[in-house]
Amino acid sequence: MGRPKKSEPRCKQLNLSLTSSELASIRQRAEAVGMHPVHFGRAVLLDQRGNPGSVPAPENKASRLVHGQLIRLGNNLNQMLRYLHRTGDPLPADLEPLLKDIRDIIARKLPR
């Protein structure tokens, strides 16, 4: 089963010419908030305040690494759960302790 069709698909392009340093800056800023550069650029250009500014940029290299790993872990969990829903298989017994650990890490890292 594929993704549902969008009511307004993105079929137009805007091509920009950037210097190497400008592109590096965009990539760095996008990575800091856990976004792909193209999605970050779209959010900034369209002034969607909920996207690039909603997640505070990690303050140091260790925080960026943890943030990146949490994003990858979330992606893997999402793929696993989609597979389990599709096949009707039960959740693994050791999933809940893993989720508890992930929630604890997030609670320590995110400002309240």
- Tens digits of per-residue pLDDT, 64-88? 787 788 888 888 888 888 898 899 9
Q: Is the pLDDT score of 50 beyond 80?
A: no
Q: Residues 6 or more apart from 69 whose CB is under 8 A from it?
A: none
Interhelix angle for 37-45 vs 20-32, to 10°? 90
pTM recorded for the entire structure: 0.44
Q: Which tens digits make up the pLDDT trace of 97-107?
A: 888 888 887 77
Give me the residue spans of the domains in the chain: 18-56, 58-112
CA angle 77, 110, 27 (to 5 degrees): 75
Q: Is the pLDDT score of 6 beyond 50?
A: yes
What is the spatial distance between Cα 60 and Cα 68, in angstroms, rounded to a whole number? 12
**56: phi then psi, degrees, rounded to nearest 5:** -65, 140
